[in-house]
Structure 1
Amino acid sequence: MALKNVDIFTDGACSGNPGPGGWGAILRYNGAEKEIHGGDAHTTNNRMELSAVIHALKLLKESCHVDLYSDSKYVCDAIQKGWALGWRRNGWRKSDKSPALNADLWEELLTLLERHQVAIHWVKGHAGHPENERCDQLAVLGAEEARARL
């Protein structure tokens, strides 16, 4: 059986780094769209970028072919260039032996990536890409909601 093709667009935002942050994602399958967002009262931008991808992938109920669009070089490069796999293989240490940041989220994301065929697409942030702009709005909303919970 052929895998379903799903497009996922993600973004993270943080007011201060660390500070209140949010994430947003759009999932698109067969003409249907779903928007999701969330946030954390004390976080970093990179954690929110990772959270957006994780939350979107967790919604997929079966293995899919995913085209993932993100403006985060941190997320895109760590997956495409194999850095995250190397960090895990080295006990969450980078090549210079320093601890890899966000190991908890990377572990969760790498496990989710194993279920799917994922093609990573970097998009320039704040450059008029409609889905990236919408994900940014969702991420800001998530950050505002997290700030309101303080």
Structure 2
Amino acid sequence: MKMLLFKMEIIDALNNNYKIKISNHIEDTLIEFNPYKKELNFIHNNNLTDCLKDNEYQLRKMLHNKRIDTYYVGFNVKLVLRCNKDVAAFNDRSKIVALDKRNNNNHSYVIAEDKCEEKIYKIFSDACYFENKKHGGFAFIIEDLEGNYKLFTEKVQAIGSSQAELTAVIKAIELLKDIEKIRIVTDSQYVRKGLTEWIPCWKLNDFKTINGEPVKNIENWLLFDNVCNGKYIEFQWVKGHSNHFENSLCDMYARDVAENSKNF
């Protein structure tokens, strides 16, 4: 995947219209953005402007998601876009996203369902976490090529729901360290998007968000990235609590271990 790295700096502001300089190693351009009205204007007209227009959806999404309090003159951060990313396809939750990290590659792409691997190990996972009690649990099922299931559960504490989801998948992949092709079936967009969309950007922008803040749970994300090296991973999202058999089973066992983890 080709990544585009820029420097973004807010250089002026007037009536909630923020003038932003975006530059690369060759040239710079100016845009204007109003975070309240969500209006974006391209001020200059050069090759860099054309590049930003080609990837306008990604740029708009980042500007829209940026917190209001981080719009101020002097703010600067590295901005990373993926060249010609099919945003609509990646955002289509019915699509399976593949990540190929074999042969020192790091390529993610959306694949049609009929193009997925037919014979592949599967990981089904879910987590339950009680924020008020600061404990929870996760469960995952590994299905081998013959359709046999193995269930694993574990208690967790003081890590949060998203981290519990991520930890479950990491532990499952560690158990499949000798397996090259794996499909992860999850109801977590956090898990689905992390390696396929976010980490390639974080590695280039010093692990900062568009708000200029450190990415949360980066240790777990780097571990997840590392255990997937040399593997082909398919990410399939399923809606939680939708009577998907394996997902419902993981949810049941995750809740059971969470509810019985009061004294650990």
CA distance in 1, matches of 2:180, 2:248: 25
Q: Which runs of 5+ in 2 are unaligned?
A: 1-118
Q: Is the 8 A contact 2:194 2:221 kept in 1?
A: no
Residue aligned with 1:98, SS:
coil
Match of 2:158 in 1: 42
- Describe the shift of the 1:87–1:39 C-alpha distance in structure 2 as closer, same or farther (beyond 3 A): farther
* Aligned residues between the structures: 145
Q: Is the 8 A contact 1:39 1:48 kept in 2?
A: no
TM-score, scaled relative to structure 1: 0.87
One of 126, 135, 138 as aligned partner of 2:241: 126
Equivalence map 1:105-120=2 (5 Å): 105-120=220-235
RMSD between aligned alpha carbons? 1.8
Match of 1:78 in 2: 194
Name segments (4+ residues, structure 1) moved above 6 Å. none
Q: Is the 8 A contact 1:37 1:141 kept in 2?
A: no
- Residue type matched to 1:131 in 2? E
Q: Does structure 1 residue 8 correspond to structure 2 residue 123?
A: yes
TM-score, scaled relative to structure 2: 0.51
Equivalence map 1:49-88=2 (5 Å): 49-80=165-196, 82-88=197-203
Q: Comparing both structures, which one devotes a greater share of its residues to helix?
A: 1
Residue aligned with 2:120, SS:
strand
- Residue type matched to 1:36 in 2? F
Residue aligned with 1:124, SS:
coil
Whose relative contact order is higher, 1 or 2, with alpha carbons under 8 Å and at least 6 apart? 1
Q: Is the 8 A contact 2:139 2:168 kept in 1?
A: yes
Match of 2:149 in 1: 33
Identity of aligned residues (%): 29
Structure number with greater Rg is 2
Q: Which runs of 5+ in 1 are unaligned?
A: none
Q: Does structure 1 residue 19 correspond to structure 2 residue 168?
A: no
In the TM superposition, residue 84 of structure 1 has moved relative to its aligned partner by 2.2
